Structure formats: C-alpha cells, structure tokens
Amino acid sequence: MTERLNRTEELLREVDRTMTEEHLQEVDRTMTERLNRTEERLQEVDRTMTERLNRTEERLFYVDFLVSDQENVAFSAGLTDSGSVGPFDDETTLIFSKTITNVGGAYDRTTGVFTAPLTGLYFFCFTAADYLKGYMGVQLLVNERPVLFSLDLNAHGGYASTSNGLVVNLDRRDRVRLSLPASYRLYDDSRNFSVFSGFLLFPL
C-alpha cells in the first residue's frame, strides 16, 4: 500500500513538473510574441515620428528663412586676379574666389559651389573671357548634371568673351557650379573679365 502511494505521489510530481514546464514554455512564447509586437509598434512609431520631425524641420527652416529675410539670395564672384586659368587635362571646377556680392551666403568662394537654401526658381549667368588663341568656355552643372554649355574659339588672339544664362528650378540643397572643360582656358584679373552670378527669383 505504501509503495503504491509512493509511486502515485511520484507520478503526481512528474505530472506537476511537466505541466509547469509546459506552462512556462507557453508563457515564454506569449511574452516573446507580445515583445515582438511591441518592438514592431515602436519601430512604426519611430518611423512616423522621424517623418513628422523632418517635415517640421523643413517648415521651421522655411519660416526662419522668411522671418530672417533670407529669401533675398544673390551672389556675384570674379574668377581670379592671377591671369590665365587652364588648360587642364580633365574637367575642372571653376572656383570664383573674388566675392563681389553674396547675400544669403549660399555661394561658397572656397569650393565654387552655390547651394540652394530653399526650393525655388533661380537665375544664373556668367561671362567667360580669354586673350590667347584657342578654345574658351564653361559648362554649368546642377547636381553634377550639365545643363548649359557655352564656348567660343578665339581665333584672332585678342580679348574675347562668351556669356550665357538660364533659369532653373532648384530644390533645397541642390548644388550649382561652373566647370572648365578639359583643354579649355580662361582669363581674369582685377578687372573681372570672368564672372559668375546667380539669384533667387522666387521661392516655390
């Protein structure tokens, strides 16, 4: 009788252990599923908050731009006082280092790059000059995409120049620069024969 009772108690303890392990496994699965759902919700909330923050920053930038009167964007810069620029073996960014006007600070005289402070319509123009026989000219690039090319063959060897301009639709942070094609040459001195200019027509 005692032996049967002992076996029965042992069986009951085994059943209890089994049920406890199964219960713990079920609890673990449930908690894992809930944790995964919570992480997915947090990731979605993070994405939503990031998007809203980006939109808010964009709006605040635009408001700050208008409030600070920085919608007035305009620059003009001369090329150099050093004389001839080029020719080079490869296409080269022209750094118009002589800042004449730079309202809004969008033109960087150290890199030769104009960065649009806000979305809008902009007008850019340039005059490129040389005084030796050969090809002179420049191309205008927006985000490294050529949009305008202007050249001239100086056949007589005296001073000659070429000018051009266009209106472009720029998004905020778009970059505009002038480049000198390979084997081309320009000239400038203190009289500003070669000039790069641009300004915001109106924001969009």
Sketch the domain layout of the chain as residue ranges. 1-68, 74-203
Residue 123 pLDDT: 97
Residue 89, pLDDT > 60, answer yes
Q: How far apart are CA 104 and CA 115, in angstroms?
A: 11
Residue 2, pLDDT > 80, answer no
Query: 109: closest CA among 121, 101, 118, 117?
Result: 101
Q: Any idea what the Cα angle at residue 107 is, between residues 54 and 160, rounded to 5°?
A: 145
Residue 168, pLDDT > 60, answer yes
Q: Which residues of 161-192 are buried (b: 16+ CB within 10 A; e: fewer)?
A: bbebeeebebeeeeebbbbbbeebbbbbeeeb
Residue 112 pLDDT: 95
Residue 9 pLDDT: 62
Q: State how far the alpha carbon of 185 is from the alpha carbons of 36, 59, 84, 181, in Å.
A: 64, 44, 7, 8
Select from 2.60.120.40, 1.10.490.10, 3.40.50.300, 3.40.462.40 the CATH code of 74-203. 2.60.120.40
Single pTM value for the model: 0.63
Instruction: Return the higher-pLDDT residue of 164 and 150.
Output: 164
121: tokens are: 């319509």
Q: How far apart are CA 140 and CA 175, in angstroms?
A: 11
Average the pLDDT over 120-126 and give the result: 96
